[in-house]
């Protein structure tokens, strides 16, 4: 339920609601869903919503205890299902205390445990028991058909088919509704599994907290993480090093674009008076490529490293920083020419929106589900996720004038303010679940 104090304060809405978020992990390395919770809780609290969080992390995990919200840890979960022997019993005793439960993600034990506990409570209510909370599921892209079609996921896709038939279809179809981060995700979710009959499909969007204003400390912090860049222009790829992010496409396209640059005659001299060859001139005239994110130690990460090592162009241009956070991360965003993410599947892309908020153009694929919203504001160059198209993406950027790049940056900030601010998301979310 909600109310506004008076007609003059229609925009100041207050909600009296107790909300429980349930998620597999709050580890920042797991990607966007945990960051969604960290972003949205303070904004919901400002609207009068009380928030508590359940996760399957160990209470001793290094990232636990750094947040201000009330947290219950039931991990580490066992097996790939993240089973917890105490979770269901805790839900059975406590779910009646909440007005609403949002399950973040699917395919893990926590979604099954919530569904079963609430069903038990419904059965008790029929016999005169307590109130039953509403249950919503926020899939965060986990119903995207990409995950059933990707060649490297054949075994997991087969597992999901059986798991859907046995458990997850009931979890989804018995919930009060599904909450999607954009209209594209909502439509894609309908293609993947049958029977798929959710009671409601609601596109609530998503948002992030505005980044802190730029400071010289941010620049210095990034320079400390990336000393070899030495003030040169650069593209920023800030994401997990994972096959679905399209990093291999980006590296191959980058190498081909630089390789196709015309040779410059005569030979140039650098600042120290040393001669540089035409090919070196081409490399230095094009932005470097900063790859910031975890995953270098994975099998795909090693493939990426080998790809870079096999090319002199890439060796000279690509810089790996590992995962960036705090001032170093914002320094990377504020200092880049453009943010690049040629993903094969991106449900939302928090890093994409962080770049927009820093007034940086984004070079993305149509497989980043929010591309339409960004294009409406003129803040992106968008192509399909093929080698030819990603090559065209970089080549188009190369051919833009300085004024055109500035206009794209202005459109980027406009996209953030129009579609992805945290206060807009909080209001859409709470209106959906309080209806």
Q: What does the pLDDT read at residue 174?
A: 96
Strands 362-365 and 338-341: parallel
CA-nearest of 303, 257, 319, 302 to 283 is: 257
pLDDT value at residue 263: 53
Contact 138, 179 (CB under 8 A): yes
pLDDT at 284: 52
Backbone angles phi, psi at 377, to 5 degrees: -95, -5
30-88: per-residue pLDDT in tens?
777 898 999 999 999 999 999 999 999 999 999 998 898 999 999 888 998 999 999 99
The residue among 20, 12, 3 whose CA lies nearest residue 423 is 12
Angle between helices 32-46 and 350-357 in degrees, nearest 10: 60
Range 127-162 burial, b when 16+ CB lie within 10 A, else e: eeeeebbbbbbbbbbbbbebbbeeeebeeebeebee
Q: What is the pLDDT of residues 156-213, one digit of tens each?
A: 999 999 999 999 999 999 999 999 999 999 999 999 999 999 999 999 999 999 999 9
Give the Cα separation of 96 and 88 in Å (integer). 13
β-bridge partners, 318: 289
Outline where DSSP puts E strands in 266-320. Answer: 268-269, 275-276, 288-292, 318-320
The pLDDT profile of the chain, 435 residues, written as one tens digit per residue, is: 444 444 334 445 667 899 999 999 999 877 778 989 999 999 999 999 999 999 999 999 999 988 989 999 998 889 989 999 999 999 999 999 999 999 999 999 999 999 999 999 888 765 445 679 999 999 999 999 999 999 989 999 999 999 999 999 999 999 999 999 999 999 999 999 999 999 999 999 999 999 999 999 999 999 999 999 988 999 999 999 999 999 999 999 999 999 887 654 434 445 555 554 444 444 456 899 999 999 999 999 999 999 999 999 999 999 999 999 999 999 999 999 999 999 999 999 999 999 999 999 999 999 999 999 999 999 999 999 999 999 999 999 999 999 999 999 999 999 999 999 999 999 999 999 987
**Prediction pTM value:** 0.84
Closest alpha carbon to 35 in 74, 63, 73: 63
Q: What is the pLDDT of residue 5?
A: 46
Sheet containing strand 49-55, edge to edge, reads 70-73, 49-55, 17-23, 100-104, 134-138, 177-180, 201-203
The count of residues in the chain is: 435
The pLDDT value given to residue 260:
80
* pLDDT of res. 7: 39
Helix, strand and coil percent figures for the chain, each rounded to 5: 50, 15, 35
Domains identified in the chain and CATH numbers? 2-207+422-434 (3.40.50.2000), 216-419 (3.40.50.2000)
């Amino acid at each position: 339920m909600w109310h506004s104090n008076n007609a003059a304060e229609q925009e100041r809405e207050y909600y009296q609601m107790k909300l429980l978020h349930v998620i597999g992990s709050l580890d920042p390395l797991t990607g966007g869903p945990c960051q969604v919770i960290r972003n949205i809780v303070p904004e919901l609290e400002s609207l009068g919503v009380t928030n508590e969080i359940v996760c399957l992390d160990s209470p001793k995990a290094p990232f636990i205890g750094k947040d201000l919200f009330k947290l219950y840890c039931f991990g580490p979960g066992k097996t790939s299902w993240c089973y917890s022997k105490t979770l269901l019993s805790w839900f059975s005793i406590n779910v009646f205390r909440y007005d609403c439960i949002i399950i973040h993600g699917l395919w893990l034990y926590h979604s099954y445990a919530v569904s079963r506990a609430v069903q038990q409570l419904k059965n008790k209510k029929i016999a005169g028991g307590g109130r039953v909370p509403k249950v919503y599921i926020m899939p965060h892209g986990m119903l995207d058909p990409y995950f059933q079609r990707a060649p490297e996921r054949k075994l997991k896709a087969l597992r999901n088919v059986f798991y859907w038939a046995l458990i997850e279809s009931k979890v989804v179809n018995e919930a009060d509704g599904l909450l999607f981060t954009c209209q594209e995700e909502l439509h894609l979710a309908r293609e993947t599994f049958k029977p798929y009959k959710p009671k409601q499909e609601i596109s609530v969007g998503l948002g992030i907290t505005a980044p802190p204003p730029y400071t010289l400390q941010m620049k210095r912090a990034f320079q400390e993480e990336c000393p070899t860049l030495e003030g040169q222009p650069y593209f920023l790829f800030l994401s997990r090093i994972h096959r679905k992010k399209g990093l291999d496409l980006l590296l191959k396209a980058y190498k081909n674009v630089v390789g196709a640059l015309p040779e410059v005659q005569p030979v140039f001299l650098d600042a120290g008076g040393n001669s540089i060859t035409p090919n070196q001139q081409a490399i230095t005239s094009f932005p470097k490529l900063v790859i910031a994110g975890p995953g270098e130690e994975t099998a795909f990460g090693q493939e990426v490293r080998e790809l870079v090592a096999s090319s002199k162009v890439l060796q000279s241009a690509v810089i790996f920083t590992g995962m960036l956070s705090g001032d170093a991360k914002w320094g990377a965003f504020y200092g880049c020419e453009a943010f690049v993410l040629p993903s094969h599947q991106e449900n939302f892309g928090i890093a994409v929106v962080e770049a927009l908020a820093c007034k940086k153009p984004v070079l993305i694929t149509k497989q980043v589900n929010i591309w339409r919203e960004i294009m409406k504001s003129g803040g992106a160059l968008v192509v399909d996720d093929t080698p030819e198209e990603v090559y065209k993406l970089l080549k188009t950027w190369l051919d833009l004038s300085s004024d055109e790049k500035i206009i794209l940056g202005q459109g980027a900030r406009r996209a953030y303010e129009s579609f992805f601010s945290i206060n807009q998301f909080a209001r859409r979310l709470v209106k959906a679940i309080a209806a």
